[in-house]
Structure 1
Amino acid sequence: MKSKPERDTLAVALDAINDRWSLHIVRALAFGASRYTEILRSVGAPRDVLASRLRKLTESGIVQPRSTETGGASGYELTQKGLDLGKVILVLKRWGDTYSDADVPQAVFTHDLCGEIFVAEVCCQACGRPVRSGELSVPEQSLGC
């Protein structure tokens, strides 16, 4: 019987977004919502849950209060850490495009540099080839056994 793996960076990443609403909040902010009411309307979470998740995302450095010119807070914005989490959402979007029902509309993104439709692809940093299911393994020494 395999033992439970020790905590690793993947576990840290999953813990950052391990609830029903966090990725929806990041998505709403990435699509331009910034004020609490805009996020609430976009996400659809109960008010107390949204407030709690925004606090959690702020504490973890994914979201920050957006400052006005006068120094007061005026909504929320993604930090660099949050913007980088957007890349994960793009890969999840591709999965949704593949496995959603045919009647579910797709969000379409255009790559500003080349003008073409953007489709997220996970590639190996070393060789540049796309990574497919079944092409990765976990060396035994990294399992914490």
Structure 2
Amino acid sequence: MRRLVVVPSLVLLLAACAADPQSGARPNTAGAGQDMDSAPQEASLPPPDVTNPARLKGLNARQVTAVLGQPSFTRKDAPAEIWQYRVRSCTLDLFLYEEGTTHRVAHYAVRSPQVISDQACFDEVLATLRGVPTS
């Protein structure tokens, strides 16, 4: 009888030790055979090195926020979300679609009243995020 009490206690103790004390995140204790999303694992990864807007494709919502910060505007039209990053010379629109329990960038578009390249707009969004003045 004593062995039956000790084994579950050890399992609970190990699970408590595996929790991340800084984020308060707990390990996934879902039963075997359940569909487990990779988003919790991706959240612990550093943001990807994104140097051009095409590299945003496939990133999940957390990764986009890590790279670009919070959007200026969001709109939800299931199954999509549209995120806008508005800067002085342009607007970068990201179109995120549901994938499991998260959203991923499927497409981006740059809009501007003047002729501006996608890269120039993206660079301005990044510069604004970092507090670098743009001319």
TM-score, normalised to structure 2's length? 0.26
Which of the two has higher C-alpha Rg? Answer: 2
Higher strand proportion (structure 1 or 2): 2
Higher RCO (CA 8 Å, separation ≥ 6 residues): 1
Higher helix proportion (structure 1 or 2): 1
